[in-house]
Amino acid sequence: MDLLNTLVDKGLRRELPTREEALAVLATSDDDVLDVVAAAGKVRRKWFGRRVKLNYLVNLKSGLCPEDCSYCSQRLGSKADILKYTWLKPEQASQAAAAGLAGGAKRVCLVASGRGPTDRDIDRVAGTIKAIKDENENVEVCACLGLLSDGQAERLREAGADAYNHNLNTSEATYGDITTTHTYADRVDTVSKAHAAGLSACSGLIAGMGESDEDLVDVVFALRELDPDSVPVNFLIPMEGTPLAAEWHLTPQRCLRILAMVRFVCPDVEVRIAGGREVHLRTMQPLALHLANSIFLGDYLTSEGQAGKADLEMIADAGFEVEGAGDVTLPEHRVTAGGGCGSHAGAGCGSHEDAGCGSHEGGGVCGTAAPAVAASTVNEARTDLVAVRRRGAGTDLAPNA
């Protein structure tokens, strides 16, 4: 296929595809999906070999968010039966992080629900970062606390944070259909603040909210322009009690095409499969490792993920290897160009679940109806695969890692 040959050549040169080429990837048929994966896999292996980076989420403060992000189970007005608790103490967060690190995670993503942190919240998170790094010298820490005010990114950097996550989620044109309590420009501003402070910027998207192919390409092209080190790709988890609980528009094949498009547009950045991979990719998750070089280990913020042991077995069975603490995630040209955290650059936080960590776990578009989706793209609802997290942070039960 001439399209795929062209995209491989461009990806190996770090050249931006045209919008038409990116749209054409999303328009390929299910019959061609293995060819698409094989082509994008060449680009992935050029820049990241067969390494898979593991990231682990710690939900520092769960639920009761004043923002109305409709994809989120922690949103204002959410009726989702999730865990709700205030800030974990530093030692509690460190203990939760230790489980993920013991399971092979290289980066810990610290997430808190809310519009954005107060200065006191920054102090809390600084104490948590210190507690984690005192116990684990080489760990990377990514913070995901919502919209940042002036000076807060610098304070996080001084406290030892390596990265900051804040997702764009969808295109600027449709952002107002998802959230009304803040703007797309607010999110761009926070990513820019993280960049300017010397933090490794992490910003991604959520697919499956009824968006068009054009919307997906728009947001990925916008991300390429922002130049984050890490791009988490979330697939909407339609959780009961959120506006999009009935929206099931993704098939495993479409998820693979979306990941391939992201890889072609962002060839040399860390692409992470974040929330929803277990729900929508299901048994085709191993194929996605040929496209993305990073995943979350274990559970997400408010929903359960695949067992950590199963994640590790999947990586090994697919012929990949877990990235070690001594490995540099990003290609050398991005690290030497000042890609954020030096040898630890490029880990992003992306898991969608609220304002937090690039990982989504709810789903909705501000109570509005999702645009019509062609019948061929409508997936069967698999509500049996959506389970609320009842273990780990904020509970007395051992975490999944």
The predicted-structure confidence for 141-187, as pLDDT tens digits, reads as follows: 999 999 999 999 999 999 999 999 999 999 999 999 988 999 999 99
Instruction: State the binding site for [4Fe-4S] cluster.
Output: 65, 69, 72
Average pLDDT over residues 327-341: 80
32-385 in CATH: which number?
3.20.20.70
Per the annotation, the verdict on 142 as an active-site residue is yes
Which phi and psi (to 5°) does residue 144 adopt? -140, 95
**Count of CB atoms situated within 10 Å of the CB of 257:** 26
Q: Under 8 Å CB-to-CB from 140, ≥6 apart: which residues?
A: 106, 107, 108, 162, 163, 341, 344, 347
Per the annotation, the verdict on 72 as an active-site residue is yes
Q: Whole-angstrom Cα distance, residue 353 to residue 361?
A: 4
Give the rounded percent of residues in the chain with a pLDDT score beyond 90. Answer: 70
| Cα-to-chain-centroid distance, residue 375 | 27
Average pLDDT over residues 32-36: 98
Tokens for 337?
């160009």
Return the closest-CA partner of residue 277 out of 302, 244, 249, 250: 250
C-alpha distances in Å from residue 353, one per residue of 116, 192, 279, 319, 385: 15, 22, 14, 30, 16
Tokens for 352?
């969608």
User: Which band of pLDDT confidence, cut at 50, 70 and 90, is reported for residue 376?
Assistant: very low
From 44, 75, 107, 109, active-site residue: 109
Which phi and psi (to 5°) does residue 123 adopt? -60, -45
| Helix 19-26 with 213-226: angle, nearest 10 deg | 130
From 44, 157, 272, 389, active-site residue: 272
Q: Give the model confidence (pLDDT) of 232-269 as tens digits.
A: 999 999 888 888 888 898 999 999 999 999 999 999 99
What is the per-residue pLDDT for 378?
59
What is the per-residue pLDDT for 364?
30
With a cut of 90, say whether residue 228 has pLDDT above it.
Answer: yes
Task: Give me the sign of the Cα torsion angle 116, 121, 126, 128.
Answer: negative
Q: Give the model confidence (pLDDT) of 278-330 as tens digits.
A: 999 999 999 999 999 999 998 888 778 899 999 999 999 999 999 998 899 99
Q: Whole-angstrom Cα distance, residue 56 to residue 76?
A: 26
Q: What is this structure's pTM? A: 0.89
Per the annotation, the verdict on 272 as an active-site residue is yes
The DSSP letter of residue 371 is: P
User: Which band of pLDDT confidence, cut at 50, 70 and 90, is reported for residue 104?
Assistant: very high
